[in-house]
Amino acid sequence: MNLQKGKIMSRSAFVALLLTFMTVGCSTVDNGNNTRDKDFIIRVDSVEAPSSASSSDTLHITLHGIVGPDGCYRFDHIEADRQPDTLKLTAWGIHHDGICTQAVVALHEPYRIDPPLEDPFVIAVRQPDGSVLKNTVRIYSP
């Protein structure tokens, strides 16, 4: 009877130890340096867009800027809020602490805007400091 009790206790201790190791291995840290990725808004220096377009055209624009000073920074995605006469954009990046290249990471991100478009069509890009970079495209009827 005591031998059986000892086996049950040993199994329980083993399972507890195994769960502890599994939990430690499943942390939100993404590498062995205990660093985490951080989201940030990218500063957009300019929006390349046509000065005018037809209301039935698809607009092709490009956001330009600097994602970051080294390879620890990268572009992630564009968040968009679209209305018939306005497009509000936020360019998001990710910063990762660690060993990185020393090359500056540039932003040259194309974005497509499908019709319909109303005049004037305003492209508003949110900046990290809360300001907004605006570009206006005049829209004409075909």
Q: Is the pLDDT of residue 88 over 80?
A: yes
Q: Which residue has the higher pLDDT, 14 or 101?
A: 101
- Tens digit of each residue's pLDDT (9 = 90 or more) over 22-71: 333 322 334 455 556 899 999 999 999 999 999 999 999 999 999 999 99
Mean of pLDDT values over 84-96 = 96
Residue 7: band (very low, low, confident or very high) from pLDDT cuts 50, 70, 90: low
pLDDT at position 24, please? Answer: 32
Q: Is the pLDDT of residue 117 over 70?
A: yes
CB 59, CB 119: distance < 8 Å: no
pLDDT at position 97, please? Answer: 87
Average pLDDT, the chain: 83
Task: Name the pairing type of β-strands 132-140 and 105-113.
Answer: unpaired
Mean of pLDDT values over 85-110 = 95
Q: Which residue has the higher pLDDT, 34 or 119?
A: 119
Domain boundaries, the chain: 37-140
- Residue-wise burial string across 17-37, b where 16 or more C-beta atoms lie within 10 A, e elsewhere: eeeeeeeeeeeeeeeeeeeee
CB 99, CB 61: distance < 8 Å: no
For domain 37-140, give the CATH number.
2.60.40
User: How remote is the C-alpha of 37 from its chain's centroid?
Assistant: 11
